Structure 1
Amino acid sequence: MNKHKNIGWLFITIVTGVLIGSLIGSLLGKALPILTFGPGPLGINNVSADFGIVVFNFSFMIYLNLAGLIGLILAIILFKKI
Structure 2
Amino acid sequence: MAMHKGSSGTNFLLLLLIFAVGGILGNLIGEFFGQYFPLLQISREVGFTSPVELDLNFIYLQFSLLIKLNLAGVIGLLLAIWLFRRL
Q: Under TM normalisation by the shorter chain, which class is it? A: 0.7 to 0.9
Q: Please state how far the C-alpha of 1:42 moved relative to its aligned partner.
A: 0.5
SS at match of 1:41: strand
Equivalent residue number for residue 54 of structure 1: 59
User: Aligned partners of 1:64, 1:26: CA distance in 2, in Å?
Assistant: 11
- Structure number with the higher strand fraction is 1
User: Aligned partners of 1:5, 1:73: CA distance in 2, in Å?
Assistant: 20
Aligned length: 81
Let me know the Cα RMSD of the aligned residues: 1.3
After superposition, the C-alpha distances for 1:18-73 in whole angstroms (9 at most, x for unaligned) are 111011111221111111123x2101231011122321111100111101001001
Q: Which runs of 5+ in 2 are unaligned?
A: 1-5
SS at match of 2:11: helix
Match of 2:82 among 64, 74, 77: 77
Q: Which runs of 5+ in 1 are unaligned?
A: none
Instruction: Write out the 4+ residue segments of structure 1 that deviate beyond 3 Å after TM superposition.
Output: none
Match of 2:9 among 1, 4, 14: 4
SS at match of 1:76: helix
Match of 2:38 among 19, 33, 39: 33
Give the greater-gyration-radius structure (CA).
2
Of all paired residues, the percent bearing the same amino acid is 36
Normalised to the residue count of structure 2, the TM-score between the two structures is 0.83
Equivalent residue number for residue 3 of structure 2: none
